[in-house]
A and B are shown apart, each in its own frame.
Chain A
Amino acid sequence: MIDTASVADAGRPALGWRTLSRSMRGGLKGGEYTWAVAFVVPYIAVFLAFVAYPVVYGLWMGSDAGLYRELFADPIYKSSVVNTVLYLALGVNVKMFLALLLSGFFMRPGRWTKVLLLIFVMPWAVPQISTFISIHWMLNGEWGFLNNVIYRFAHVEGPSWLNDRWMALGSVIVSHIWKWTPFWTLILLAGRMAIPLEIRDTARVDGATGLRGFVHITVPLLANLYLICTLLSTIFLLGDFNAVTFVSGGGPANQTHVLATLGIRDAFEIAHPRLGVAAVMSALPLVIPLVIVLMRKLRTAEVQL
């Protein structure tokens, strides 16, 4: 978390550095300054037209208090809030904890570990739509692969996974964990690789092996990275549309919607766009603190996670 600039600062006489930096900024002569502005303007234009404008437009669309009265009276909205909370709590934490453990497993030396890692990242490499549609059919009560396997080995009929609210929601959560654990495992694996070998070796000599090494070396050194990953993953999951849409489709009877899919349903299926915006905006009390904390963390952190 050491700012590289401040390290560079320490090595130089402060005055010289400051004048140098001022001379560089002031050193952008007329023509160069024009070029610099010309280089930034395209992105600023994209940001204003396609991010800032939709944000403002959305806030305006969802600014009527009456919408929220309508929203809170909707039983589907209530069950969606419960689903979103469960999806966040289980999806994020189970996935991140598995990723933490598995990243340790993949630190093992050997060719087989490398091959296994290649197989393990497959769920992430294959496009979401392909895999979620496949899972949807796999969970079909009558002809699905999962129940065929259960019948073959246990000789019992499996349940129809997607016809019950809690099983359908559980299927969505497990699908999410299946899809995204590989990615976060890779990130945490990179984080573990960045722990200097000497620290590990010294600790091992001092007797910190196995669980003690994990508790006293790995956990403290990975804590910040783990926190950032958890926050990022929370916000990505909050905006997740594909897993719910393709695995359960929000069904049975609209009981497994989350806020992101409910917003789209309200806006386009029952053609009430403002209500859809309100559904999404009702997540702002959670989104805003998350965004503030994340922006602060990401700005200061060394981003090579």
Chain B
Amino acid sequence: MSTITAEARLSSRSVARASSAVRRRRYLNRLGTAVLSVALVVWSLAPIYNMVLISLEPEGDVFTDHIWPRVPSVESFWGVLTQGHWYLEHFWRQFANSLFIGAMVTFFALLLGSLTSFAIGRMRVRHGWLVSNAALLTYVIPASFLAIPFYRIMQNYGLANNPWSVIAALVSFATPYAIFVFQEYGRSIPIEVDESARIDGASPPQIYLKIYLPLMAPALVAVGTYALLLAWNEYLYQFLLLSSKSSMTVPVALAQFLSSDQSPWNYMMATAIIYAIPPVVIYYAFRRRMAAGLTMGGVKG
């Protein structure tokens, strides 16, 4: 009798100890998750918070030592939107330039990429692999390494200070990725679809427009987002190729702020935030779609 109760007591104690160990481990696990989460949030948001903080400060307050805005003011945002500062007198023009370049890069990358992948992947044109290798090679060459000869060539073509020179450069670096993703995605569409359309007498342009493009829509959205973000993040080619105040884009104008002696930091940060809004909205809107084509290189540096 007594041995049984002793055993029972022993086992209940060990169960209690084990369960308290489990509880302690779960507690530590939760604590670790919480600490890591806080660290990640602070780490990720600090420079972005700094941007917001400074943009909300009135002009003289930038050079103080506080870590939150004492008197938040939207003065600098208003200054940017109404082009109220002498450095900002072409802001809307420059924003429109950025938009134009982004839209054209997206359009041409999608057009050239889909035409090429259609001819290689669906029509199986002879020696198509050569073209896909050329595209792959372009993808793995650092774009900045070609900037100097590219600048020289554009000078020779008389395309300096012309947005089309930037568009040409960015399209050539965005299209390889498009060809790549379209070919991968196209493999999931049975070739018999094209075959039966051909038997029904559809011509290649008809198949491309009425069958290929609609079926490729998800990949088109993913690659279009990629191309737009690529153009929006690009600085070097825009800096080299666009120099006049009315032809330059927002990043180039921002960098000019930086190199001046009296940088108006609150206006710069307000400009940086306004410039960041379109890509952030587009990214979060198409995030799920992008996951479909979220492969290599998301944004080429």
Contact = CB atoms under 8 A, between A and B. Distances in A.
Whether A associates with B in a native complex is yes
Contacts of B184: 303-304
A37 interface: yes
Contact of B51 (A39, A130, A238): A130
A119 B204 contact: no
Interface in A232-250: 232, 235-242, 245-246
Contacts of B53: 145
Contacts of A123: 44, 47-48
Given A47-B138, A236-B297, A239-B145, A116 B40 contact: yes
B275 A129 contact: yes
Nearest to A180: B301
Contact of A295 (B64, B133, B272): B133
A273 B153 CA distance: 13
A199 interface: no
A42 B115 contact: yes
A246 B258 CA distance: 9
Most buried by A among B51, B116, B301: B301
Contacts of A245: 235, 255
Interface string A43-57: 110110111111101
Interface residues of A, number: 98
Contact of B298 (A127, A148, A183, A294): A183
A50 B123 contact: no
Contact of A128 (B36, B118, B146, B233): B233
Nearest to B112: A43
Interface in A123-145: 123-131, 133-138, 142-143, 145
Interface string B250-286: 0100110010000001001100110110011001100
Contacts of A31: 203
Nearest to A275: B148
B37 interface: yes
B232 A46 contact: no
Given A121-B283, A235-B142, 9 more contacts: A25-B124, A39-B119, A125-B283, A128-B233, A130-B254, A134-B54, A242-B301, A303-B181, A305-B295
29 contacts: A4-B187, A31-B203, A33-B125, A35-B123, A36-B119, A43-B116, A46-B168, A54-B153, A57-B152, A58-B145, A102-B40, A116-B40, A122-B280, A127-B276, A129-B254, A131-B48, A133-B268, A134-B272, A137-B54, A186-B294, A241-B144, A260-B142, A260-B144, A264-B240, A280-B144, A280-B148, A290-B140, A291-B137, A294-B140
